[in-house]
Structures are given as C-alpha cells and as structure tokens.
Amino acid sequence: MGVIKLKNEIINDEYTEYVFDNFDIQNREATNVEIPMNFADCRTFEWNIGVIYGGSGTGKTTLLKQFGQITKSNFDGKKALISNFDWLDPKSATFLLTAMGLGSVPTWLRPFHTLSNGEQYRAELAYKVAKAKEGDCVLIDEYTSVVDRDVAKSMSNALQKYIRRENKKIILASCHFDIMEWLNPDWTYSPTIGRVERHACLRRTRPDINVQIFRCRYETWKLFKQHHYLTEELNKCAETFLVEMNGQYIGFFGILPFPGVGDPKTRRLSRMVILPDFQGLGIGTKVFNYLCSLYMAEGHQMYVRTVSPGLGKFMEKNENWEATSSNGKIPGADTSGRKLMLRPGYSYKYIGETSTDDTSIIRMNASAWKDVAQNQVSLF
C-alpha cells in the first residue's frame, strides 16, 4: 500500500500561538497528513464507474488527482446552454443532454447562469463527460455536494446509464453514500479502509420508486407549462393527471381524444412533463405506460405522435408500442391553422398490457384539485 504524505509549514503569529497555548499541539512547525493509497486492484478488471468516498478532510480530492487532472467546465453566459456544446453537432448535443437527464427543451435555450442548481450540475457533468477524449478517465470532485438528494439520485441514475452505454470511465469523489445504489459503481475506495472494494456482483437494479397519480384540474398545467417544448397552450378538452413523489408534484400528463383514427374512444398523449430535477429515472415513460394500461381497461386505444427525440427513441425500443403507418412522416395540413413543424415525427400505438387496477381516475370528470382519485404505483 502506498501513502500520500502532505506537509504544510505553519507560519506562526498571535493566532497560531493562541492555538498552541490552549491545545495540545505537538508539532508547531508544520501540519502533516498521511492518506492511504492502494488502487492497484483497479488494473485487474474492466470497469466503468469508480467512487472515492469519505467525510470532509479524508483526502478524497488528493486521491482523485492521482488519476489525472480535474477539468473545469467553461460556459459562455451569453449563449444558450446547448450552444456551449459546439464541438458536437446539434443532434448529438441534444441526445447528450437528454441522456444526462437534462431533457427539458426550454432549458437548452437558456443561458447557464439562469438554470437551477440541479440543472447547472447536470450541464457541467454533460460538458465534462463529452469533453473527455477517447481513453480518458473523467474525474468529478465533490459529486452531488451542492444538489438536493432527490436530484442527486435521479442524476446518478442517468449518469451511470450513459457512462455504461458509451463505455466510458468515470471516477467520482463524494461524501454522500446515498448515491451508491443509484450509481451502482464497479468499485469504491475509502481512505479509511485503504483498499479498493469491487462490486462486480452488485445487483444492477434500482431501488424502489413509488409515485401517486391524481386526476387534476386543467389549471394544474400552469405549474408545468414552462418546461414543455411545444406551445404552452393546452387543449381544454384534455384529461389531466398529476404525479406526486415524496410529497412533491413532479409530473403532469394531458390526454386528448383522437377522433382522426375513426374510433371515438381513441386517445393520444398531448402533454407529458417531468420536472427537470426528477428527469433521468424513467418516471415519465413508466407513468405513461401505466396510464395507457388503465385507458385500455376502459376500452380505449392509445396513441402517441411526437417530434421529441427522447420520447421517440423510447417508443422505438419499448415492446409496449408499435409504429403506425404515419411514423417517420411529416405531418399533413392542420385545419386549425396552427403552424406545424415540417420534419418527420414519431407515431406509435400502445399494444401493452391492460391494467387490472382501479380505473376511477380514467372514468371520472375531475373538477377538484387532487384529492379526488389516486392510484399509487410502484414503478420499479
């Protein structure tokens, strides 16, 4: 085992003399710190994610620097967030931000300094990960130290999925242990223990996530509309749903009649919003699939038409959805007079299971706030 020795000379003055006189300080010339270092085992197996953990002052940052230089992000405050990723093509930049759990399109168009703490942290992660050259190890110090713990969990889940899918390497230094089950690191290291602990057998499943789904009034949309990539207007015929987790309102769904396919009982997704701090956990798509299964139980057919790359890619890969004849085509004329986006969209039909749960939130005509009907769902 190696040891990193840090020595700093003490410049004596009246303040240090006060400390010397009142406390049992043996060495009045310098402070000495020894940090155990033993990373040899990391070279004996393949890995993607490592975590150096411990309390403040245990040497995490010093150990992290043994793997290379800790880079800093550099955002131009005059540019939109997405424009700061100008070494990537625009499409790659959008997929990167979405993959890192920063999928709110309006957020991409805001300057970095206007974002929330959670959004800024995700943007910095995306920047550092994308800037890393092939073969480099991304180093992140003080991981999740400045964000809410719910944000830390959703961010960790999004990060680990991206790192493993792209087969990159990342080492994170953190004083928080609650992120471990969301990161599922391949190895961890604590200066207190002084050895690499391998987690090859760690289960690759996430902890349970429980949400409640409520039928809500149309006016609830105002809490979420700024985070949607389309117009802030929502058709007043929409059947609207609110998603709550741990006492916080985190998501909104708007479902509209879809008479264009010839069946009055058909429905389509009009709006789906998960607040930025909770993106990256798969909550939006899980809840939507669940809502579709409830609608199916009431005899409805469910469709999605979207130009969102993230949602479209999910539909392509998910066995609960099949492409319709309109998939990949540019939308036709709209009799409402709205200006349409002239690019191919995604069009899918739900073919998944029919729920056996209570369907009262689908049948009712909601006119109350949220305490009218609810379905509690264990997502994972």
Which residues lie closer than 8 Å to 313 by C-beta, 6 or more apart? Answer: none
In terms of DSSP bridges, do strands 49-53 and 187-189 run parallel, antiparallel, or are they unpaired? Answer: parallel
User: So what's the pLDDT on residue 372?
Assistant: 43
**Range of weakest confidence among 298-302, 359-363, 367-371, 375-379:** 367-371
3-state secondary structure 236-248: CCCEEEEEEECCE
- Check pLDDT > 80 for residue 331: no
pLDDT tier, 346 (very low <50, low <70, confident <90, very high otherwise)? confident
- Helix residue ranges, H only, 205-337: 283-297, 309-317
Residue pLDDT, tens place only, 101-149: 888 888 999 999 999 888 899 999 999 999 888 888 999 999 988 888 8
User: So what's the pLDDT on residue 11?
Assistant: 87
User: So what's the pLDDT on residue 34?
Assistant: 67
Residue of 355, 205, 227, 218 whose CA lies nearest to 282: 205
Helix H or strand E segment including 155: helix 149-165
CA–CA distance, 312 with 346 (Å, rounded to integer): 6
Residue pLDDT, tens place only, 2-38: 777 767 788 888 898 888 888 887 777 877 666 666 7
User: So what's the pLDDT on residue 343?
Assistant: 63
Q: What would the CATH number be for the domain defined by 211-378?
A: 3.40.630.30
- Check pLDDT > 80 for residue 44: no
- Classify the C-alpha dihedral 145-137-65-75 as positive or negative: negative
**176-193: buried (b, 16+ CB within 10 Å) or exposed (e) per residue?**
beebbbbbbbbbbbbbee
- Check pLDDT > 50 for residue 313: yes
Share of the chain above pLDDT 90, in %: 35
Residue pLDDT, tens place only, 82-103: 999 999 999 899 889 988 888 8
What average pLDDT score do residues 319-345 get?
Answer: 69
CA–CA distance, 251 with 240 (Å, rounded to integer): 11
What average pLDDT score do residues 137-164 get?
Answer: 89
Residue-range domain boundaries for the chain: 2-198, 211-378
- Say if CB 226 and CB 106 are below 8 A apart: yes
- What single DSSP character describes residue 357? S
- Say if CB 197 and CB 367 are below 8 A apart: no
**Selecting from 2.60.40.420, 3.40.50.720, 3.20.20.120, 3.40.50.300, what CATH number does the domain 2-198 have?**
3.40.50.300
User: So what's the pLDDT on residue 333?
Assistant: 52
pTM (global) more than 0.85: no
